[in-house]
Copies of this chain bind each other. A is one copy, B any other.
């Protein structure tokens, strides 16, 4: 086990009707907030009105900025920063999913930073603090409601990059599973894959002797495998949606990577897809993860045997350990398909030629070692090979 520090200060307020608490919670931090949201769904569902009413009852003033798109854009973040400065707003309330929260976190850091906020994502500068962020979550997927990270797209440069800072853990996050009832089926499925990916990014590690985190990650994966199909079959079953929502938060609140070096290969490999084709991140992960696993599993057999036997209940074949490991990957891929998601680029309607895949592999974001991922340290040619495995059946 590696040395670690863990502190997650986000207050989770979970359950039916909890959105009514939002005004009271905001009032602890500011007299005036920026109300940040995405498209019309929070308006149509009546959620935004409920939030405004709660703010008004708590005598919290607000200015509004909607229009956050999936794969949130730096341009709108710059607008949010200007607005907050002009209106002297000291707190940002994100009402939405990961994109809205990440946009809010970016603005929260940008307010405190003198240069252009993209510098923090391009790793040209370190964050220098942030105003507080609060969350009313509408989509269980990104885990941003209790994380210290934010992912942003720069539409001019065609880049999607992340920024981590302990300053951007939300002060509070309100999670009411009822709010997720109206999510489209495809979005629920994408969210489930994103949640499972957040667990797997941490599960696959080279760090030995890390039983607590291994077993907790397995518990969270098994819970998703149990409840994701049920939530899709009965979208208005409160308990199923509650399982997905709470599981999604725990997948990404940094608890299960305590004491280990997480991987983070598949996320940057996928980010190139969603930056290039503006596809749903979870949809891209359903394509990339099986391909990534097929590419690396022979180099890390013990971890993949454990994944197959513990998470998927595969019987260990004493005559063919490699087949045991591979069966876990087959089951994961079949599971993603059973959720209604494509697991190949061509199924998602993406026709990328060799030159394009080479370009994406080259552009893919590197970690501090100059590699993609830690579990297996990937070079450009490895990432390119993974894209090729993801291309089509066979």
Contacts and interface: CB of A to CB of B under 8 A. Distances in A.
Nearest to A230: B211
B4 A15 contact: yes
A250 interface: yes
A131 B1 CA distance: 33
Interface string A201-245: 000000011011001101110110011000000000011001100
A18 interface: yes
21 contacts: A1-B242, A1-B243, A3-B14, A3-B17, A3-B18, A4-B12, A4-B15, A6-B11, A7-B11, A14-B259, A209-B243, A212-B220, A212-B243, A215-B222, A216-B216, A216-B219, A216-B220, A216-B250, A218-B219, A246-B258, A255-B255
Contacts of A3: 14-18
Contacts of A208: 239
Interface of A: 1-18, 208-209, 211-212, 215-216, 218-220, 222-223, 226-227, 238-239, 242-243, 246-247, 250, 255, 258-259
Contact of A212 (B10, B16, B223, B259): B223
B220 A215 contact: yes
**Copies of this subunit:** 2
Greatest chain B CB density within 10 A among A1, A4, A239, A246 is at A1
B18 A12 contact: no
A343 to B, nearest CB: 26
A152 B14 CA distance: 32
A4 to B, nearest CB: 5
